[in-house]
């Protein structure tokens, strides 16, 4: 046997615990200073792995880790030039297809190198094991480095290194490991499982048989041996391995066992005294970032039982996983030193908040809560469960949702918020963009979202060339305000809806369960339908104009029978002075110009004349974006038309006060003749009560 000292391994720094990003950078600097080529190579591999993995992670912690690393190396040219670059992948990874009798042990590891160094020696002592396939799922310190530093060398060990994975996905990792085996029997072992010296003597294993762990038979603290199994390779491949639609912890093994037994494979329990599980926290098990919980949902999703229940439900509600379902593909990046490096054929990411429907998630939450807290019974409907977990701490949610002894909750150290405590609400910061109408509709949309999902609304209103005034010059507002874009909360989720491609693919439901503060840069609505529509209108109607604006409103006859908004500047034959170059795509610009061409006051005249035939004494309020319209209306309709006269048409503070007064006056008439492709018309109608709307180019 080629390995030495396996029972008394030296404990390297990497063997004890995972290093921080600063440790990894410091190691690389030390190695470069020492001129030790082998140390430099290992440290460089760790550094590149750290960067690649963090860039692929989709959680709140990763951006700060990447930023920290880049800041550390920015002034170090010897490291800066070694930053990872895109690597071209070669052929599709296609393992050997010649299968021989014997046992292949398969394990997968992502940042559990410390466990692997303890368990691998207990596998290697078994001569019955012909090969050990280790799938290194983008560990920040590559497994090959940890084994080398620990002195573990054995020709049976083969490492398949999967690069650029940001999240642990058991089903995908093990399936590629199974495909890499060359023996007719597979031993699936997690990196935290120890094999007893009598394992092969005391267990019956072979083709046509599934020898598996059973949590029901395990002693206290050993329920996680349930994921261990030995099975014939052909039997495993016939059911297509693990269900790759299950991408989080839980239910993956039971799903596989059910499909194997349904196919005729006999299941027997492994001797529970021949395998043992290394105890560790649930945080490492479910691969969730360590962060302080804010809502009940944060706490529930830290329970393994939640994911077990949710994955069971989603697996049962989808088509069966079988040989017709393609496994994830991988392409080869390189092969050296006994390590094959691969990367996914297609990029893949997981947003765990989008797994399952809201009701499925609520059902799984109930299962988890009742599993963790003895005697607690949730009696509320599942809609109420979802809302309570969004808006309260877990302890507070349990109090309002169900019944049972509260002392069972109070004893649990994961629930630390006392009953009645006012928990911190996450913020929703709406960074409003473009002109007055655009900004108001974005803010109203944000206000509705914040109200429904219990967030603190912050209005960010930065004066610029589109809207050169402050929010307080227009409104008497007692809510939270910001006038700069340089104040994003730490680790906030930033959403840019000014990108047309992103905006069209965006769904605000993806934000519902995110515990972070959210900053949305937008000139558009991003909430639609009930209950948001009415809440947006209520917010707009509740805005109180400033004293200057109110004085303008009071100076005009109001209400009138017909309100008219003529937005014609920017049409095909008029000067597009109102828009800042670069605001819109070419297609959007063409749509706007076409709409404004159809909003010439001449088209409005025809429709108004038709209305006056049935109501000769009707009064009119006019708001327009140029003096030509005002002059034409006054000439034609004389004293029946009223307006707020002005001498300037720009984006200055005074003009914007006129504009807001116009919007409010437009909203007061029972009928609004509006301009298409205009947020100004949209906001005026949203502020109204039971107003009829007719649009130029659409209704007349």
- Three-state SS for 620-642 is EEEEECCHHHHHHHHHHHHHHEE
- Fold match between 100-289+328-343 and 427-542? no
> Which pLDDT value is given to residue 83?
65
Residue 116's φ and ψ, nearest 5 degrees, are: -60, -40
Would the pTM count as exceeding 0.85? Answer: no
Mean pLDDT value across the chain: 84
For 100-289+328-343, the fitting CATH number among 3.90.550.10, 3.90.1150.10, 3.40.50.300, 3.40.190.10 is 3.90.550.10
Q: What fold, for 547-695?
A: Rossmann fold (3.40.50)
> Which pLDDT value is given to residue 5?
26
Q: What is the 3-state secondary structure (H, E, C) of 328-397?
A: CCEEEEEEECCEEEEEECCCCCCCHHHCCCHHHHHHHHHHHHHHHCCCCEECCCHHHHHHHHHHCCHHHH
> Which pLDDT value is given to residue 440?
97
pLDDT digits 0-9 by tens, 510-541: 888 888 999 999 999 999 988 899 999 999 99
> Which pLDDT value is given to residue 411?
38
Hey, what are 558's tokens?
């109001």
User: Which residues of the chain register pLDDT less than 50?
Assistant: 1-17, 58-60, 284-285, 288-290, 406-423, 571-584
> Which pLDDT value is given to residue 222?
63
> Which pLDDT value is given to residue 578?
44
> Which pLDDT value is given to residue 387?
86
| Beta-bridge partners for 275 | 195
List of residues 6+ apart from 129 with CB closer than 8 A: 103, 104, 105, 123, 156, 187
SS3 (DSSP) at 114: helix
Longest pairwise C-alpha distance within the chain: 105
> Which pLDDT value is given to residue 128?
97
Domain boundaries, the chain: 13-80, 100-289+328-343, 427-542, 547-695
Sheet with 330-336, side-by-side order of all strands: 266-269, 209-212, 229-232, 183-188, 100-109, 129-137, 157-162, 339-344, 330-336
For 427-542, the fitting CATH number among 3.40.50.11340, 3.90.470.20, 3.10.180.10, 3.40.50.150 is 3.40.50.11340
> Which pLDDT value is given to residue 444?
97
């Amino acid at each position: 046997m080629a390995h030495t000292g396996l029972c008394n391994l030296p404990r390297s720094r990497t063997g004890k615990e995972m290093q921080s990003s600063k440790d990894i950078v410091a190691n690389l600097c030390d190695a470069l200073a020492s001129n030790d080529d082998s140390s430099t190579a290992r440290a460089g591999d760790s550094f590149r792995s750290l960067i690649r993995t963090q860039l692929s992670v989709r959680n709140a912690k990763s951006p700060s880790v990447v930023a920290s690393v880049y800041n550390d190396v920015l002034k170090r040219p010897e490291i800066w030039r070694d930053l990872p670059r895109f690597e071209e992948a070669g052929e599709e990874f296609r393992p050997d297809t010649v299968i021989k009798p014997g046992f292949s042990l398969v394990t997968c590891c992502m940042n559990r190198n410390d466990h692997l160094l303890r368990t691998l020696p207990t596998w290697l002592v078994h001569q019955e094991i012909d090969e050990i396939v280790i799938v290194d799922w983008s560990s920040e310190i590559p497994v090959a480095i940890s084994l080398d530093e620990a002195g573990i060398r054995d020709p049976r060990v083969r490492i398949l290194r999967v690069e650029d994975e940001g999240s642990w996905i058991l089903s995908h990792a093990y399936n590629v490991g199974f495909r890499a085996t060359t023996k007719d029997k597979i031993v699936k072992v997690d990196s935290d499982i120890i094999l007893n010296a009598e394992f092969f003597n005391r267990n019956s294993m072979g083709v046509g048989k599934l020898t598996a762990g059973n949590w029901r038979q395990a002693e206290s603290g050993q329920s996680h041996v349930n994921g261990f199994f030995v099975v014939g390779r052909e039997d495993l491949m016939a059911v297509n391995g693990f269900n790759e639609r299950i991408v989080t912890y839980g239910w993956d093994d039971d799903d596989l066992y059910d499909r194997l037994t349904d196919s005729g494979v006999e299941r027997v329990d492994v001797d529970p005294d021949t395998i043992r599980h290394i105890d560790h926290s649930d945080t490492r098990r479910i691969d969730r970032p360590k962060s302080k919980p804010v809502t009940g949902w944060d706490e529930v999703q830290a329970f393994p039982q939640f994911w077990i229940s949710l994955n069971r439900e989603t697996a049962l509600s989808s088509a069966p996983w079988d040989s017709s379902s393609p496994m994830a593909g991988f392409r080869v990046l390189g092969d050296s030193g006994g390590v094959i490096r691969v990367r996914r054929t297609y990029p893949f990411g997981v947003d765990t908040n989008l797994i399952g429907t809201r009701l499925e998630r609520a059902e799984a939450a109930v299962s988890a809560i009742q599993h963790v807290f003895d005697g607690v019974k949730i009696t509320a409907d599942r809609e109420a469960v979802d809302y309570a977990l969004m808006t309260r701490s877990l302890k507070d949610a349990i109090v309002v949702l169900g019944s049972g002894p509260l002392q069972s909750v109070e004893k649990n150290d994961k629930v630390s918020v006392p009953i009645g405590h006012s928990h911190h609400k996450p913020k929703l910061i709406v960074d409003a963009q473009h002109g007055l109408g655009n900004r108001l509709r974005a803010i109203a949309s944000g206000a509705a979202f914040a109200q429904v999902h219990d967030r603190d609304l912050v209005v960010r209103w930065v004066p610029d060339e589109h809207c050169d005034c402050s929010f307080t010059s227009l409104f008497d507002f007692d809510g939270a305000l910001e006038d700069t874009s340089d104040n994003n909360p730490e680790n906030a989720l930033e959403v840019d809806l000014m990108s047309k491609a992103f905006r069209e693919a965006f769904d605000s439901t993806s934000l519902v369960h995110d515990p972070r503060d959210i900053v949305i840069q937008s000139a558009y609505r991003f909430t639609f339908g009930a209950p948001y529509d009415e809440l947006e209108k209520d917010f707009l109607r509740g805005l109180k104009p400033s004293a200057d604006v109110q004085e303008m409103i009071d100076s005009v006859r109001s209400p009138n029978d017909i309100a008219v908004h003529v937005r014609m500047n920017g049409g095909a034959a008029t000067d597009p002075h109102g828009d800042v170059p670069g605001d819109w795509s070419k297609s959007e610009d063409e749509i706007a110009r076409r709409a404004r061409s159809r909003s010439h006051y001449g088209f409005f005249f025809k429709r108004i004349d038709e209305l006056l035939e049935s109501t000769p004494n009707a009064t009119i309020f006019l708001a327009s974006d140029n003096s030509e319209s005002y002059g034409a209306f006054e000439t034609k309709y004389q004293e029946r038309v009223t307006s707020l006269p002005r001498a300037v048409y720009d984006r200055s503070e005074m003009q914007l006060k006129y504009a807001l007064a116009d919007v409010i006056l437009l909203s007061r008439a029972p009928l609004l003749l509006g301009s298409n492709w205009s947020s100004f018309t949209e906001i005026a109608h949203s502020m109204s009560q039971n107003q009829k709307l007719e649009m130029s180019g659409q209704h007349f």
